[in-house]
Structures are given as structure tokens and as C-alpha cells.
Amino acid sequence: MATPKEILNPLRNSVSYSLDASPTATFHSPPATGSFMASLAMRAAAKQLKPFNTEDIKILLLENVNQTGRDILTAQGYQVEFLKTSLPEDQLIEKIKDVHVIGIRSKTKLTAKVLQEAKNLLVIGCFCIGTNQVDLEYAAKQGIAVFNSPFANSRSVAELVIAEIITLARQLGDRSLEMHRGTWNKVSNKCWEVRGKTLGIVGYGHIGSQLSVLAEAMGISVIYYDVVSLMAIGTARQVPTLDALLDEADFVTLHVPETPETKNLLSTKQFELMKDGAYVINASRGTVVDIPALVKAMRAGKIAGAALDVFPNEPAANGDYFTTDLNGWAEELRGLNNIILTPHIGGSTEEAQRAIGIEVADALVRYINQGTTLGSVNLPEVNMRSITLDESNHARIIYIHRNVPGVLRKVNEILGDHNVDKQISDSKGDIAYLMADVSDVRHEDIKDIYDSLDSLSSRIMTRVLY
């Protein structure tokens, strides 16, 4: 079987077109999904990459990105520079000029000012859940893809909620605080087993459905409400309205996104509809519960306990910030009995960090080596089956362009003399992403194709992988 000249990456603003293979770069097939060890094993089946350009892929990883992610990227043969901290803006601008990939967590702000200096940047990996530290729109306009890991911590949140259900039912937080103060207070009044109780899950997505499985294993009946019709896991049951769920549930737990519709989803009216002595858990977003209304319902004894992991205003750093300065009702909340208050730690586990490292690094490798944008938050999501080992003279063309009329015709005029095996195109707002695999191309053809596409007025970025 012919040695594959795999996936290459012509650099964005490069003007030289050396077709020599880099002597040092050994690239590997991107992994399929599966366990970390399985992915590592797959990566061992190396395919040689022949870069279009003599430069290798340079990656800057900031903010102590998890070892799992670093391992995946270095195993590809990329040049990876790793720093434990974020960088001040001036140093960041200096460093970003040179790299093709940057990996960050939440502290590094990739503003338009910083990104405009990033002349070679192809892709940004946010090794975290959120992406609001990146100017996504500006990045898209430069053809820079952004990936994150929105669901790697679902299990961690679900486990926290399970712990909270039992903690609230047994008033463990209060008993523990009393003991810390030297008070022995052995009570069974209004302390319950969770077996046989009903858990109402609002939002049956990644977290809600994980939680459903764990809760049933403890003998809890699960009902859920979601705006879309979703297949139940186990013997869980979807109910038609939020009111129906509130009417039936002993524990109500919220797992919805932050949207205008979910703001104050639980407020005075909803607390009134709930069973006397029910419990409320919110590990979704701080805006979803009307906290002053919850304080009232708890003081009135209507709600027997609550666990809150998220708040409308959360401090940017650790410290003594959970005060009325941040949220006017903080003192009242802290004064309630049987309330668990945690600093947005639902997803904060070692396992989640590892999973984030794997997911984001895998997405970066797929994007660099194959051009696949699945999971990108700012470019259209485009996937195309890989070029196979026996397709040795095939090249993959990636053309990121402004979404204006007539581009496809011009692109196909350029590709027209070659056999286009497969082609796909999609757009998101002003930006469109086109992928095409052409067969039987020689090195000279690749240069011509690259130059012709790159000179089109609609061009944002051209890449050729082979």
C-alpha cells in the first residue's frame, strides 16, 4: 500500500511554497472517539504527514492546560510550548504572532486587539466550558476556528447533585456546622431516606439525563420536564409541563441553559405550586432561580432545603466576596437553615479537567490534520470522511470565505480541471466553509490551486491538506 502523504497545513500568510517534507515532523492520524488509552493506541498507527510548507505546527498552551491535552498534541509531533500561567497582554501579543494554535483556559483574553497580531493563527482551543474570553466574531472573520468542551463535566455535576439530594434530606450541612461549633444535636424529625421519593429534573440534557440514571439506582422515581420531547432513560417519565413536575416532585433540580425563558424559572408562583417541604437544587445558572423568592419560601417552611452552586453575580477570583456587595440578598441566604452554598464547583473535578484536555486536543488535531470543524463554536460545522491510505495523490482543499454570491462557481472553475471526489460547504452568518477532496493532483497542481483560491476576493483563509 502506498505511503500516504497525509494531511498538511499550508500556513496562512506564508509566501514561500517549499514542498519539501519537514525533516522533523511526524504526524499521526487523528483519533476516533473512545477511551483515552484507545485513542493513544490509535495514534500509534502513524501516517506520515508531508507539510505543504516547511514550517511545523507551533502550539502555545497557556494556563496549565491538562496533561492529557498536552500529551495528545505532542504525540502528533507538533512543537508545543507550555506555560503554567496566562500572559500579560503585551507578552501575549508577542507570542501569538508566531503560533498556529493557541490553547487557553478562562483567564486569557483573546480580544480583537490581540488576535489581529496573530498572523499565523489557525485555531484556538479553549480548554474549558465557556468561550466568552474570546472575541468569537472577530476570530471567525479571520477564519480562526474556536473549540471548547461544553459537556466534559456533566458527570461531575450529576454526582454533586446526588450528594446534595441526600445531604438536604438528612440536613447534613446543619448537623456538621453544629458539630464544628461544638453542638451535639441528634435529631430524626424531618430527616428522610431518598428511596421512594420523586426527583423532578428540569432540563433533560447532558447533565439531567446522567442524573436520571444515578438517581434511579438509589430507588428514586424520576420525572422530567424539557421543552423538547426526549426519550426517557430507564423508567424515568417526561411530564408535559413545569407545573406538573412541581406538583409531583419531592426534589426539584434545574439543568437548563441561561436564556430569557429560563430567567426566574422558579419564582414565587412556582414555589407555591411545589409540595410542602420540597427541596430545590440549582447547579445550572444563577439567573434561573429568583433567590429573594426562595428565601421567602424557605422562611415560610414551604421549601425544606436548597442547594445553590450558581449565582446571578459570581466573583472573578477566590476570596471573601460572597457578600451583599456582590448580591444584595447574600446575608439573608447565608442565614437560612438547611441550605448548601457552593462556589460554582459542580463541574470542578480532576476527571472533568482530564476529559476537557482530551476533547479539546482531539478537536484541535482533527481541525489541523483534516480540517473538520465539528464542535467549532464560531465556524460552520463541516465534516467529511477522511482521505484513505490508498488515496495517495489526493488533496483536501479548505477554503474559508466570505458568504457572498458566486463564490462556489469561482471555486469550481479553479477545481474544474481536477476530479473532485467529494465536496461540502456550509455557512454561518457572514462566514462560509468549503471542503473539497480532489484526486490525482501533482505538487504543481496543489500550488496552482492554492494560489488561485488565495487570490479570490472572497478569501478569508485557504488551506490545502494532502
Ligand X SMILES: NC(=O)c1ccc[n+]([C@@H]2O[C@H](COP(=O)([O-])OP(=O)(O)OC[C@H]3O[C@@H](n4cnc5c(N)ncnc54)[C@H](O)[C@@H]3O)[C@@H](O)[C@H]2O)c1
- For binding to ligand X (CB under 6 A), which residues are involved? 129, 151, 153-154, 157, 202-208, 225-228, 255-258, 261-262, 283-285, 309-310, 344, 346-347
Nearer to ligand X among residue 76 and residue 133 (C-beta):
133
Nearer to ligand X among residue 157 and residue 464 (C-beta):
157
Residue type at position 7 = I
Cα separation, 107 vs 282, whole angstroms: 25
- Least distance (Å) between residue 265 CB and ligand X: 6
Nearer to ligand X among residue 5 and residue 255 (C-beta):
255
- Least distance (Å) between residue 146 CB and ligand X: 18
Nearer to ligand X among residue 48 and residue 264 (C-beta):
264
- Least distance (Å) between residue 284 CB and ligand X: 4
Active site includes 12? no
Q: In what order do the strands lie in the sheet with 58-61?
A: 79-82, 58-61, 101-104, 123-126, 145-147
- Least distance (Å) between residue 224 CB and ligand X: 9
| CA dihedral (354, 357, 360, 365) positive or negative | negative
How many other β-carbons are positioned within 10 Å of the β-carbon of residue 55? 19
The answer to whether the CB of 239 falls within 8 A of the CB of 223 is yes
- Least distance (Å) between residue 258 CB and ligand X: 6
Report phi then psi at 122, rounded to 5: -100, -35
Cα separation, 122 vs 9, whole angstroms: 10
The answer to whether the CB of 418 falls within 8 A of the CB of 441 is yes
How many residues belong to the chain? 466
- Least distance (Å) between residue 58 CB and ligand X: 32
Nearer to ligand X among residue 93 and residue 129 (C-beta):
129
Instruction: Report helix, strand or coil for 23.
Output: coil
Q: Give the helix ranges, DSSP H, for 194-324.
A: 206-217, 242-248, 268-273, 291-299
Report phi then psi at 253, rounded to 5: -125, 140
Active site includes 442? no
Instruction: Provide CB contacts within 8 A for 207, sequence distance 6+.
Output: 154, 157, 158, 161, 255, 283
Nearest residue to the partner ligand X, using Cβ? 205
Nearer to ligand X among residue 207 and residue 387 (C-beta):
207
- Least distance (Å) between residue 158 CB and ligand X: 9
Q: Which of 12, 100, 175, 285 is catalytic?
A: 285
How many other β-carbons are positioned within 10 Å of the β-carbon of residue 243? 14
Grid coordinates representing 126?
A: 479553549
Nearer to ligand X among residue 179 and residue 213 (C-beta):
213
Chain-centroid distance, C-alpha 133 = 13
Q: In what order do the strands lie in the sheet with 198-202?
A: 237-238, 221-225, 198-202, 251-254, 278-282, 303-308, 339-341
Cα separation, 130 vs 38, whole angstroms: 27
Q: Which of 193, 272, 314, 331 is catalytic?
A: 314
Q: Which of 43, 206, 332, 344 is catalytic?
A: 344
Active site includes 100? no
Catalytic residues: 285, 314, 344
